Structure 1
Amino acid sequence: MPRFTILNDRRFWLFFAFALTLLGFPRGILLDWIYRTGSLTDLNHPGGADFVTFWVAAKGALSGHAGNLYDPSFFSRAMVDQFGEDFDMRWLYPPHFLLLIFPLGALPYSVAYTAFQAIGLVAFASLGILAPRRCEMSLWLVFAPTSILCLLVGQTALLVGALSIGAIFLWDRKPILAGVFLGLLTIKPQFGVLIPLVLLIERRWLVIASATLTTCALVAFAGLVFGFDAWRDFILNIAGPQGDVLRANAKTFLEIQMSVYGGMRLAGFEADTAMLTQIGVGSAAIIALITTLRSAARRCTKLAMLVTSTYLCVPYILFYDLAAPTFIAVWLYLGYGLEKGAGPVLSILLVLVATLSFVNGLTVAMGFSAGPLVFVALATALFFRAREESARAPEHQRSPQPDETTPRAGDRPVLARESAASWR
């Protein structure tokens, strides 16, 4: 057995990677992003570049103009009324997201900003309860680079990551709650794009029913509160400002993209070529996901493949949208849910994922985006790990079985013990 030193302690290297990343944040693109629409010392608008859209939208919804938010000219005027200039941001979220944020419009900017980010951070840190060492996992999540970045930028990624991870890790044990989380995840539906496929393959009918009912209730309630015209305007907006965001060719915007599409555009390829490549890589990721789901791999390997495949399928991912893969990376790096610890190659990949916003910033300075390359490498590593786990599994576990069943009463204690063991 090798003698223990700090240099062969996994936690030391994760701490070192986080510290190095955070020390890199005060320079370059991050400061440009923060100060582009505010100053950390300005009490009226203390930084948080993206939060201005949520606050302006919340004030618009409170004043009865929810449907008008999707009109670029209206939103531009509202931005100028609040801050004296238009920051060239538009409202792209569905109407039921307004249900979650419209009370913020009644608060001063700094108070609303603090409350919104606190809710997201608490939700993300609460995922630590899924780990054997709860407090330790929560601390890693709080101080993860993606958490600090989201807090400074003022984005939804922590809340979205909490809903996504909470749903997929709980749908074995709490299917109704997992469905509620999935219904709420429709505020940013692209990050759940592969989840319906998984639910159908695994025949999780209770999760599907709960998610469907939650989504329908949110859609209907938002229509009643803000008017159903808001939904019409949102749908029409998909081909307008939302499409313009995806087609944007500004180098500063492409540099913070993490998708295959964004990486191809940054490399100089035309939009059609980039999208075809995105479709090809996404299709391969879906095939790898289905193969992994139907194998006898451990549950955490399958969930990690689901998250990784999602990030290979979505064409619009920005550098703050990394909460879910950060959780997966830290979880697997620390050995949770793995029968055999992560080897050197997988460990390096997991650390790269956990610090990807910074790593991508370094590679962009060299002329290419590391984001899609890291996700492709991680998907490949998980695919082969799933094959290895399947080969070691007992013969009776190798035929694919649905994960959601209705066990007999006498089977439940045995199944409970097996389920608990599978998460260690």
Structure 2
Amino acid sequence: MRRSRAAFNDTGLATRVVPPANRETGTAKQKTWLTRERIALYSTALFILQAALIGIWAVSYWGVHQHGVPLPGSDFRVFWCASDVSLRSGAAAAFDQQRLLACEASLQRGTPLANMFGPWIYPPTFQMLIYPLALLPYAISYALFMGIGVAGCLLASMPAMRQNILPWMTVVAFPGIWVTMVYGQNSLLTFGLAAAGLGMLETAPVWAGICAGILVIKPQLGVLFPLLFLCGRHYRACAAMILTAGMLCTASAVLFGWTLWIKFFQAAAWFRDAALVHGEGGLWHTMPTVFAFLRAAGVGLGVAYALHAAIALAAVGATAIVWAHRTKRELRAAAAVVTSLMIQPYLVYYDLAWLLLPIMHVSGYGSARSAPTPLARIDYAIVTVAWLTPLLSFLLNCLRISALPWAAFLPPVWLILILMHASRDRARHTTCPRKLASQSKEERRAA
């Protein structure tokens, strides 16, 4: 007996296609050039390319010690050096820019990043996590940190991939994962926590809240979750999240002292002024946010803040309504992630690793529909653009092309599309009971 092959319907999402032997039964094959096999093939090619480039980079730096090759994990060096100075001189030393600069310079000596300084602007909750990193050599610590991040990302993706909606190679080859590895950032860790928190709401609400609460290591990305949990009537998850976040903050204060939180808020205020207000280092062009787009386009600070706040509030309100109406789980999770990214005035393109979750959920929602809708092709286009956006943003930055951050338009457009799906889904579910009720009345009259 021949195995059936999988193809993509008009939404670009996986559907089952009957084998040739069964075509005469009346089920016709949907014609499409972008089959599941081709998606897997293209993803495999990009996976091999990305893995080879990172492998060559690592061997060139640590293997043959090629002069002029930059240190892998340019942002991870900040984590490692913060750990190093904390272990040597106490946790508060991480906010001493002179000590941190000396450590970073020693790591980057003889590389193009020798004069580049990355400040420590993370909360004490994250400092607890990275505190022991410098107990290991930089290379081993970097590999371990990124390995845990990738493993957590893929493990948290398993619930969304149970229906085999996309080839696993498409997930593994997602450029957001590899861009995060290049910089050595924590986006994969936060992605795993967000995906686990949203994925376990129905089955293990307390564990979902615990995972969401650990997002306090990067609190701006988790600030929306308590509101959505309340709107969705996930009270146990909300309580567990608040309790977890509170315990982590208290633990950091006990270990390092409350003064460390004061130093964090001072550093955050200084960095906000440098990055958001003045856009030092061309940061506006690397930030896919509405605020950064407006500032890069020459809009004044007050107007940029006002427009960004108006769009963010509208997005939060619309997403809260979606959660309150208990629409499909895939749409709620996708809206939560897209809105969480969209409300940030400061966001760098490596944080777009979070886009993998709505990519999977929108794909799952599309594959569950019995028939394609007029929005199907737009779904497919948005998913494709979202999958490629981290790579395109990274390449533009590497080529030093100072274009406006065009990716700022992706979250608002995608959220509008998700809201349209949610509205249609709700209308369909409210219409069906009325039809059933009218049918039962007609049956009683006939009886």
Could you state the TM-score of these two structures normalised by the residue count of structure 1?
0.82
Q: Distance in 1 between matches of 2:220 and 2:382?
A: 24
Partner of 1:61: 86
Q: Which moves more between the two structures, 59-68 or 256-265?
A: 59-68
CA distance in 2, matches of 1:389, 1:125: 29
User: Matches of 2:42 and 2:229 in 1, distance apart?
Assistant: 38
Note if contact 1:257-1:316 (Cα within 8 Å) is conserved in structure 2. yes
Provide the residue aligned with 2:310 in structure 1: 280
Task: Please identify the structure whose Cα radius of gyration is greater.
Answer: 2
User: Aligned pair 1:254/2:278, yes or no?
Assistant: no
Give the corresponding residue for 1:392. Answer: 428
Kept in 2, the 8 Å contact 1:259–1:317? The answer is yes
Which moved further from structure 2: 125-134 or 301-310?
A: 125-134
Change (3 A) 1:137 1:56: farther
Displacement of 1:60 in angstroms is: 1.9
The answer to whether the 8 Å contact 1:299/1:337 transfers is: no
Q: In 2 relative to 1, CA 142–26 (structure 1 residues): closer, same or farther, beyond 3 Å?
A: closer
Equivalents in 1 of 2:197, 2:295: separation in Å?
Answer: 33
Secondary structure of 1:355's counterpart equals helix
What does residue range 169-248 of structure 1 map to in structure 2 within 5 Å? 169-248=199-278
What is the CA-CA distance between 1:169 and the residue it aligns to?
A: 1.7
Distance (whole Å) between structure 1 residues aligned to residue 337 and residue 169 of structure 2: 22
1:201 Cα offset (Å):
1.6
Please, which of 372, 397, 405 is the counterpart of residue 369 of structure 1? 405
In structure 1, what is the equivalent of residue 3 of structure 2? Answer: none
Deviates more, 1:107-116 or 1:83-92: 83-92
Show the counterpart of 2:418: 382
String of CA shifts for 1:382-411, please: whole Å, max 9, x gaps: 11111111111145889xxxxxxxxxxxxx
Q: CA deviation at 1:141?
A: 2.6
Q: Give the match for residue 95 of structure 2.
A: 70
The one-letter amino acid paired with 1:98 is: Q
Q: Which AA in structure 2 matches 1:305?
A: A
What runs of 5+ residues in structure 2 fail to find an aligned partner? 1-26, 435-447
Structure 1 unaligned regions, length at least 5:
399-424
Which amino acid letter does the alignment assign opposite residue 346 of structure 1? D
Change in CA separation of 1:349 and 1:25 when aligned onto 2, cut-off 3 Å: farther
SS of 2:355's equivalent?
helix
Measured against aligned partners, the alpha-carbon deviations of 1:349-396 in whole angstroms (never above 9, x if no partner) come to: 011112112344678858332212111111111111111111111458
Match of 2:385 in 1: 352
Report the equivalent of 1:7.
Answer: 33
One-letter code aligned to 2:246:
C
Matched, 1:16 2:33: no
Q: Does 1:322 align with 2:352?
A: yes
CA deviations on 1:255-301 (whole Å, 9 max, x unpaired) are: 22111111222223233322222112112212221232233531211
Contact 2:206 2:240 in 1 (8 A): yes
How far is 1:243 from its partner?
Answer: 3.7
Give the whole-Å Cα distance in 2 for the aligned partners of 1:135 and 1:224: 46
Give the stretch that moved more between structures: 59-68 or 181-190: 59-68
- Using the TM superposition, give the Cα deviation of residue 26 of structure 1 relative to its aligned residue in structure 2, in angstroms: 9.8
Equivalent residue in structure 2 for 1:118, among 136, 147, 155: 147
CA shift for structure 1 position 112: 0.4
C-alpha RMSD of matched pairs (Å): 3.2
Equivalent in 265, 278, 282 of residue 295 of structure 2: 265
Q: How far did 1:97 drift?
A: 1.0
CA contact (8 A) 1:121 1:147 kept: yes
1:404-424 CA-partner distances (Å, limit 9, x unpaired): xxxxxxxxxxxxxxxxxxxxx
The partner residue of 2:61 within 21, 37, 41 is 41
1:165 partnered with 2:191: no
Question: Is the 2:323–2:332 contact (alpha carbons within 8 Å) kept by the matching residues of 1?
Answer: yes
CA distance in 1, matches of 2:367, 2:228: 19
Q: Any idea what SS the aligned residue of 1:116 has?
A: helix
What CA deviation, in whole Å up to 9, does each residue of 1:38-79 have, x standing for no partner?
995246984111110010011122224211212333322333
Q: How many residues were matched structurally?
A: 391
